[in-house]
Amino acid sequence: MDLFDLAFASPVEDIEFELRGFSRVPWSHFVLNPRRLRGSDFLMRWSQGVWSEERLIQAVNETKNYFALPYGPSGTAPDDDPRAFELYFERLEKAGLGQLKRPDLVVFRRSQAKAVMDIVEQLGGNQELPFIPEDDPRVGKLLSLAILAVECENSLWRASQMPDYGSELKPQRWLGGELGLKRSAVLPTVIVKEEDRVPLKSWQQQRHVGIHIWHVFYDMAFGLALDTAESLIEQGKIVPTKQVFQAPGGATTAKTIYKFYYHYAYPVGKSGDEPTLVAAHITDKNGHILPYVRFDGGSLKLSREALEVLDEASGGKG
């Protein structure tokens, strides 16, 4: 898969809107200059990912001492123009950044906001940041001011209503006696993809900025330090699982992922004002319309535990 397909690939079990029983559905093979989106799910999942990053930025920016900026490609990518999608990812590929894994967000002390924003302005603004190579001295200077990096994940669930939310971990045979739940348990987890582990660990080691994974659900979010995730894997408390992902063009690939029980994570925050689900659509150059549903608005309030994580990271940077 190229960068476009990787960005839009969705877990097969999350693809809800496949239409069955019809001999022909005109937009089920929607041409996207020349990409194909076979249903609304790909746009909805992308839109939800952008929304979840916005909620995390909003939550951090409302704190007294910290603020966050988008750093990975998804935070600044267009979300309403099919041709702009294409050009954006093509530009990333041409810049040689297609295979580079960057955390989605970086967090800074508010007291250093002017210094941070001066550097960002020199780089051309937030929109240009994903296209600047990391060996650029200005990027190095920017990251030297960061206290934490965040890899964002999201799920289309109300975490509090998931059937096994609140269940106690118990020794499991399939985990070699380690604490856990039955394989079929449905509960909030923090997800890390195997393909992201090495690049993220390498980035963390090279940049000396700790990475945390913040997984956003409809009503709350959970966080886990990358180092903690690695420790849980090494101890055998979390084992890999296979998940099938489908790209917009229809290609599928099996990926190894790790699902960390929320019991091992810390609460990042809870929803204040809930988002609304809004009908949306895009139209291609031929006039074809693809409808989808996107999240709009809402708010997230950072938890005391998340603030403690930021305070500890800030103190650690000296």
Give pLDDT tens digits for 189-222.
Answer: 999 999 899 999 999 999 999 999 999 998 999 9
pLDDT at 293: 78
Which residue type sits at 285?
K
Using an 8 Å Cβ cutoff, are 59 and 307 in contact? no
Type of residue found at 84: A
What integer pLDDT is reported at residue 307 of this predicted model? 97
Q: In the chain, what is the straight-line distance between the N-terminal and C-terminal CA atoms, in Å?
A: 42
Count of structural domains within the chain: 1
Q: What is the pLDDT of residue 252?
A: 75
> What are the 10-residue block averages of pLDDT along the chain, 318 residues in total?
59 49 40 45 72 93 95 69 70 68 93 96 88 88 97 91 96 95 95 92 94 95 98 95 72 86 97 83 71 82 96 76
Name, in order, each residue with C-beta under 8 angstroms of 124's C-beta and a sequence gap of 6 or more: 132
Structure tokens at 252: 């599928």
| HSE toward the beta carbon, residue 6, CA cutoff 13 A | 17
Q: Pull the structure tokens for residue 205.
A: 């080691």
Question: Is this structure's pTM higher than 0.85?
Answer: no
Query: Longest Cα pair distance anywhere in the chain, in angstroms?
Result: 64
- Please give the Cα distance from 71 to 131 (Å, whole number): 10
Residues in contact with 300: Cβ distance below 8 Å, sequence separation at least 6, in sequence order: 55, 56, 58, 59, 216, 221, 268, 269, 270, 271, 272
> Tell me, what's the pLDDT at 33?
40
pLDDT value of residue 21: 40
> Which domain does 177 fall in, by range?
3-316
Give the model confidence (pLDDT) of 151-163 as tens digits. 999 888 999 999 9
pLDDT confidence of residue 77:
66
The span from the CA of 197 to the CA of 220, in Å, is: 24
CA distances from 279 to 186, 254, 287, 296 (A): 28, 31, 18, 10
pLDDT for 34? 38
Instruction: State CA 20 to chain mean position distance.
Output: 30
